[in-house]
Structures are given as structure tokens and as C-alpha cells.
């Protein structure tokens, strides 16, 4: 038995919670991987994994072994990365998962620059919705909008978005322009849905130390950012969206910003994440550096529209927990003890 290989198989299976997913990562047969882990269990005299209706789970002994094995593999990979002779030419395939709005408006229009610089790297982009996909699909890196919550995820902060409140000129001509946050109560608004099922109908505002919260309502909502923007451009109502990716609609005049003297809070961050166990750290590193360049340029080019700069936004208390209308779940009824899902969703 190749014990080190068996340990790698075990760690990956524990993290993906699937023999099949781990086997795909190493490009080996599922039976081969499972047999190697069984041999490891026999060698140490303990059962490390058990099957359940939710997939593969760690036993108590398996959890102890995993905690130490993961650190062992991580440290070994880091040492090898440091001492391995490099020719300065990254090579290989890199599977990148991205939210649609980030891919379409930010990364893919600039990916040619990366491919021209790293001619021996193949980028395989995939559409993802939550960080759970980075495990289930064996992705190397995910580019997300929201707030990371996994403690074992390596996170690179790429950009802080700001919320823009806007609507189409036709809608504003018909319904009037809101001058104060409370005016939104008398408008058709388009709240976006988080993928956990929360209707984000509570919009918070700040100005010169003053805070206001407004519960908005409307007859259209979606978790798809593009659909939300298209509906707003078509006159469906007032929308609150992150500025990154919104520039074409604002530049063309299809959407007009309002309440520009207020800061709409709880704007999400954009970040890149990958697991410590990732074995393509060199490829991930050059791609993350490319992302940092991309989002630095994007943020420098975004018109401010009179909206105050957004400070770093902490993760809201409702994030990854709330379902249904947010206005019905926040204090005093917000349940702080609700159980978090294993993979928190993104906004």
C-alpha cells in the first residue's frame, strides 16, 4: 500500500463526502480509491469513514485522523511547492467556478489577457451558485459574490461592491423619483432572492451617522441578477443591485441612480476561494493574481454616481440562515439559533 497516496485519497473523500467525487479528482477508478482507503483503515486498525444517506461521513476516529492528515498533506504540499524547481511557466488545466454576473460582466471579457500570458494553462469555467459546488464539482477555485463562512477556505478579497438604488427613466417619469428612503414604501420595488430562499425586502441606509431601514414590496423578484436588471430596465420598478456589472445599464441611461446621498448598506464582497487541500496551488495563485488585477481595474473605472464609498461590509446576521421575506424574520423574531447549513449560500 502506498500510504501517502491512501492518506490523500482519504482526505479528499472526507472533504468531498463522496468516493466518486474524490476518484474524479485523482482520475482513478472509484473501486481503486475505496480499496486504498480500506487498506489504510486496516493498517491503522480503525474505521475512518462510514456511508450514510447524506453521503460519506467521518467516524469519531476518522475526524481525529482527518484533522491531522489534512495538516500533514497541506504542509507537505507547501514544502514541495517551495523547493520544486520552477521554469516559470505555469501549465495544466484549471477549473474555475463563477457566479454568472461575475463571469459575464467581469472575468470572461478579460480572460483573453490571462490566456495570452499563460499559454500552457487551460481554463475551464463553470457556472456555480453556491460554495457547495466547489466540492461537488471538484473545482479548483471559485469566484463568488457574498460573504465566505467556511473556516477551512483560503479566501482572497477581490472587491467591495456598493449598492446602487436605481430604476428606468420611464418608471421614474410614471411613479416619481424617491427623495428619501421612506419614499420607497410607495414604489414598486424588485427585491432580489438569496439562493437560501430569503427575499431581501429590508433595505438599510446610512447617511452622516443616521440609519434608516425600509421594508420594500413589489410584484416581481428573482435570484437571477440579470433578470432583476432586465426587469428594472423594462420599467418594473426600483432595484437595489451591486454596482459591479451594472455599468452598461447606467452608462446607457437604461437605469438611473436615485437616493445618491444615502449609502445602501449590506453590499456584498467579491472573493476567490479554494480549499487548503487543492493540489494546483501554482495555477490557482496566478489566476487569483489575475483576478486581483481585473477587479482593481473595474473598481477604478466604475462611476461613483454621487453615491458615498462603501466601507467593508461585515456578514449580515441573516446571511445563510434566513428564508422567506427578510422583513418577517429580523428582530424581534429573527432566530439567532437557527442551524447554519454546511455550505452557506451566496447573495
Q: Which of 335, 244, 342, 246 is nearest to 15 (CA)?
A: 342
Please tell me the predicted confidence (pLDDT) of residue 26.
86
Half-sphere exposure of 23 (CA within 13 A, CB side): 13
C-alpha cell at 332: 424581534
Please tell me the predicted confidence (pLDDT) of residue 185.
93
Q: Which of 137, 143, 179, 173 is nearest to 159 (CA)?
A: 143
List the domain boundaries for the chain.
3-83, 89-347
Best CATH choice for the domain 3-83 from the list 1.10.10.10, 3.40.710.10, 3.40.50.1220, 3.40.50.720: 1.10.10.10
> 3-class DSSP state for residue 38?
helix
pTM, entire model: 0.64
Please tell me the predicted confidence (pLDDT) of residue 165.
94
Please tell me the predicted confidence (pLDDT) of residue 66.
92
Best CATH choice for the domain 89-347 from the list 3.40.50.20, 3.40.50.620, 3.30.420.480, 3.40.190.290: 3.40.190.290
> 3-class DSSP state for residue 65?
helix
Please tell me the predicted confidence (pLDDT) of residue 335.
38
Q: Can you name the residues that pair with 239 across neighbouring β-strands?
A: 166, 190
Q: Identify whether 332 is preceded by a cis peptide bond (ω within 30 of 0).
A: yes
DSSP string, 85-115: ---S---EEEEEEE-HHHIIIIIGGGHHHHH
First CA to last CA distance, the chain: 45
Please tell me the predicted confidence (pLDDT) of residue 145.
85
Give the pLDDT of the chain (347 residues) as one tens digit per residue: 689 999 999 999 988 888 988 888 888 899 999 999 999 999 999 999 988 767 788 999 999 999 899 888 877 876 666 555 455 677 788 889 998 888 988 899 999 999 999 988 899 998 887 766 666 456 788 898 887 766 667 888 998 888 899 999 999 999 999 999 999 999 999 998 876 677 888 899 999 889 999 999 989 988 888 888 899 999 999 999 888 776 678 888 899 999 999 988 888 889 998 876 665 677 888 999 999 999 988 877 776 555 555 555 666 665 555 455 666 665 543 333 333 333 333 34
Whose cell is 444517506? That residue is 53
Intrachain domains 3-83 and 89-347 with the same fold = no
Q: Are β-strands 238-242 and 189-190 bridged in parallel, bridged antiparallel, or unpaired? A: parallel
DSSP 255: S
Its sign, for the CA torsion 217, 223, 224, 225, is: positive
User: Residue 155, class by beta-carbon neighbours within 10 Å (0-12 exposed, 13-18 middle, 19+ buried)?
Assistant: middle
Amino acid at each position: 500500500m502506498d500510504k501517502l497516496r491512501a492518506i490523500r485519497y482519504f482526505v479528499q473523500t472526507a472533504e468531498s463526502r463522496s468516493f466518486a467525487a474524490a476518484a474524479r479528482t485523482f482520475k482513478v477508478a472509484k473501486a481503486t480509491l475505496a480499496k486504498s482507503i480500506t487498506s489504510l483503515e486496516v493498517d491503522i486498525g480503525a474505521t475512518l469513514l462510514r456511508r450514510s444517506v447524506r453521503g460519506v461521513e467521518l467516524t469519531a476516529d476518522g475526524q481525529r485522523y482527518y484533522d491531522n492528515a489534512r495538516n500533514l498533506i497541506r504542509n507537505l504540499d507547501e514544502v514541495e511547492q517551495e523547493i520544486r524547481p520552477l521554469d516559470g511557466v505555469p501549465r495544466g488545466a484549471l477549473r474555475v467556478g463563477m457566479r454568472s454576473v461575475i463571469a459575464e460582466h467581469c472575468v470572461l471579457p478579460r480572460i483573453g489577457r490571462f490566456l495570452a500570458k499563460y499559454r500552457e494553462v487551460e481554463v475551464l469555467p463553470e457556472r456555480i451558485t453556491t460554495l457547495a459546488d466547489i466540492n461537488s464539482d471538484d473545482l479548483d477555485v471559485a469566484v463568488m459574490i457574498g460573504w465566505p463562512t467556511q473556516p477551512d477556505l483560503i479566501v482572497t478579497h477581490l472587491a467591495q461592491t456598493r449598492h446602487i438604488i436605481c430604476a428606468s427613466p420611464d418608471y421614474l417619469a410614471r411613479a416619481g423619483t424617491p427623495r428619501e428612503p421612506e419614499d420607497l414604501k410607495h414604489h414598486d420595488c424588485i427585491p432580489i432572492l438569496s439562493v437560501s430562499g430569503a427575499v431581501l425586502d429590508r433595505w438599510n441606509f446610512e447617511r452622516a451617522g443616521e440609519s434608516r431601514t425600509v421594508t420594500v414590496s413589489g410584484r416581481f423578484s428573482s435570484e437571477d441578477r440579470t433578470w432583476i436588471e432586465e426587469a428594472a430596465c423594462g420599467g418594473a420598478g426600483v432595484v437595489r443591485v451591486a454596482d459591479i456589472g451594472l455599468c452598461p445599464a447606467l452608462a446607457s441611461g437604461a437605469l438611473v441612480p436615485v437616493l445618491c446621498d444615502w449609502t445602501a448598506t449590506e453590499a456584498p464582497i467579491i472573493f476567490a476561494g479554494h480549499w487548503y487541500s487543492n493540489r494546483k496551488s501554482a495555477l490557482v495563485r496566478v489566476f487569483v493574481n489575475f483576478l486581483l488585477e481585473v477587479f482593481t481595474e473595474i473598481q477604478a473605472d466604475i462611476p461613483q454616481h454621487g453615491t458615498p464609498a462603501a466601507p467593508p461590509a461585515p456578514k449580515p446576521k441573516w446571511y445563510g440562515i434566513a428564508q422567506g421575506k427578510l422583513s418577517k424574520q429580523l428582530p424581534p423574531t429573527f432566530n439567532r439559533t437557527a442551524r447554519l447549513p454546511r455550505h452557506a449560500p451566496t447573495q
